[in-house]
Chain A
Amino acid sequence: MIDINLSINTDLAREILAGFIKSEITRAGMSRAVIGLSGGIDSALSCALAVEALGKENVLAVRMPYKASSKDSLDHAQLLIDQLGIPNKTIEITGMVEPLFKLDPQITKMRMGNIMARERMIVLYDQSEVFKGLVVGTGNKTEILLGYSTLYGDSACAINPIGDLYKTQVRQLSRAMNIPAPIIDKAPSADLWAGQTDEDELGFTYEDVDKLLYLLVDQRYSPQEAVEAGFSEKFVNAVATRVRRNQFKRMLPPIAKVSNRTVGYDFLYLRDWGT
């Protein structure tokens, strides 16, 4: 296996990402952020960066447990809330999602997971209005490339400061920002059902897939070159297919073009237009 070094200059990352949050929230005419705190590392890091950018009084952490959520998730989120000293709310979603679950006795774990992720999005965007803050995203580059998220659920946000950091880089930056150790050390999980872990569900470790994605995406290796670099062909093909098949989650829905000027094709402006 060739040597692949994903380590980053954490001081520089911190400066650029906190600056991004401040710039983009301020230009939207706001000064505050709302973050769904799951107890996991991604939302912890986004939250710490938002606090660095906006000040602790301007970041609202929202915990949104379901009755089957692990107690650790709540406790770990609390650790970060206490450490950062930020405003916080706990809004249980059980009573919101159960009526929908009960409509269909055949409902699957995956459907329930998606419904919970989307319910949390609804709660967060509602709190966004209450707190007058923008929803700051928590998806990392690994999950975005793999499509390991619920569309219009946990992937929904106004801005995303950590979407260009691989999971292993999220860990490195989290250590540098003193995120509580239990959050960094535990197995990553969407916590949609008991015992779920990302790495079990994906079938590989973040350590491995981050290196492969780095070659395929950042370094523009062909799948064949990635195999020659030391990854198994099966793994490379599975990941490359997964990246391709999830492109739809990384885009706005395509609009059928009929006019001379169409949003998304030839009506082109940044969000920061005029600011």
Chain B
Amino acid sequence: MKLNLALAQINTKLGDVDSNLAKHMDYIQRAKSQKADLLVFPELSLTGYVLQDLVASVAHKPTEDDPVFKPLLQASRDLDLVVGFVDEDSRHRFFIASAYLSGGKTVHVHHKVYLPTYGLFDEGRFFAWGDSVRAFDTRFGRVGMLICEDFWHASPPYLLWLDGADIMLFSSASPGRGLNDRDRLESAHWVERVIKGYASMFTSFVAHANRVGYEDGLHFWGGAALFDPNGEEVVVGPYNEEAITIAQMDLNQLRRTRARLPLLRDERTALIRNELDRILSRD
């Protein structure tokens, strides 16, 4: 089975959801015309990233009756979509969220579980922490979604792997930092290295959609990427400019790789549980 994946690295208008939605619809058309089966947008693609006090005013619910999600859900009848937004729960907690939309339905919503609140980041001040990491079934197999800092920690991708995800879809709004004499920023190096590492260690497909553009002095670097279950790069998009990057996932590669390298088969989950229980119960 083959899956045509499209990764949208877009710039956004900060706090202008209608304008960002229009750009989503445009990219959806472009992805459709290139026969994409699945289109992944970056973190907070409908709102912009450094929202601060704008958070409450840009929140939406991924339901049919929401004016922003209605056209997106409609579009998901033609191709599956991952969009980034601010989710508000029934008790008015606000989450950084990704929604997987397919066949006119919201299949899964992930709330970011790690909110960086250090250095240039201040997410914990404005958002609630997500409290679950779950894989979910799609027409392409079992998928997991994570948002930026979620995959700076090793445990969320690991949990998704154990929960059955063979395709990991990561999205980011990653501010570029660490300019030195190398060919790309330290932050870009770091992200590419860990994504490649997850694909290798979990013998899975790992895709990453990162935004571009600026918010005040912050610059987002793009570089959408897909790595295959051998940890090999399938595609890396351009840096620092808007683009739609298309790559084909040959899902049969999962079988070929895992026949050669049975890391999943040999994973000692009971051992991990025992040791975690011991570590966590320590005084």
A residues with a Cβ closer than 8 A to B are 5, 7-9, 12-13, 15-16, 19-20, 23-24, 164, 266-275
Contact = CB atoms under 8 A, between A and B. Distances in A.
Given A12-B185, A19-B219, A275 B14 contact: yes
Contacts of A5: 180-181
Nearest to B218: A270
Interface string B182-200: 1111000000000000000
Given A12-B185, A16-B240, A19-B240, A272 B215 contact: yes
Contacts of A24: 214, 216
Contact of A273 (B14, B176, B180, B184): B14
B240 A15 contact: yes
Contacts of A269: 52-54
B214 A19 contact: yes
Given A23-B214, A24-B214, A274 B15 contact: yes
B179 interface: yes
A20 B217 contact: yes
A30 to B, nearest CB: 15
A33 B181 CA distance: 29
Contact of A274 (B14, B213, B214): B14
Contacts of B215: 270, 272
A103 B216 CA distance: 42
Contact of B14 (A9, A20, A272): A272
B191 to A, nearest CB: 16
Nearest to A5: B181
B274 to A, nearest CB: 38
A268 B176 CA distance: 22
Secondary structure of the A side of the interface? Answer: loop
Contacts of A16: 176, 179, 219, 240
B105 interface: no
Nearest to B177: A164
A12 B180 CA distance: 9
A13 B215 CA distance: 17
Contacts of A12: 179, 183-185
Contact of A9 (B54, B182, B217): B182
Closest 7 CB pairs of A and B: A268-B52, A23-B214, A7-B181, A270-B216, A268-B53, A272-B14, A270-B50
B276 to A, nearest CB: 32
Interface residues of B, number: 23
B61 interface: no
A233 to B, nearest CB: 28
A273 B54 contact: yes
Contact of A7 (B14, B180, B214): B180
A148 B71 CA distance: 54
Of A7, A269, A272, A275, most B-chain CB atoms within 10 Å:
A272
B181 A275 contact: no
Given A19-B219, A274-B13, A13 B179 contact: yes
Contacts of A9: 179-184
Contacts of B181: 5, 7-9
Contacts of B180: 5, 7-9
A13 B217 CA distance: 13
A5 B217 CA distance: 24
7 contacts: A16-B176, A16-B179, A20-B219, A268-B53, A269-B53, A270-B50, A273-B54
A23 B50 contact: no
Contacts of A19: 214, 219, 240
A5 B54 CA distance: 40
A270 B52 CA distance: 8
B66 interface: no
A91 to B, nearest CB: 30
A269 B52 CA distance: 6
Contacts of A272: 14, 214-216
Nearest to A266: B53
A273 B49 CA distance: 11
Contacts of B54: 269, 273
B137 interface: no
A267 B183 CA distance: 39
Contacts of A273: 14-15, 54
A44 to B, nearest CB: 20
A13 B240 CA distance: 12
Given A15-B240, A274-B15, A8 B219 contact: no
Given A9-B181, A20-B217, A274 B16 contact: yes
Given A12-B184, A20-B214, A24-B214, A270 B219 contact: no
Contacts of B216: 24, 270-272
Interface string B132-163: 00000000000000000000000000000000
Contacts of A8: 179-181
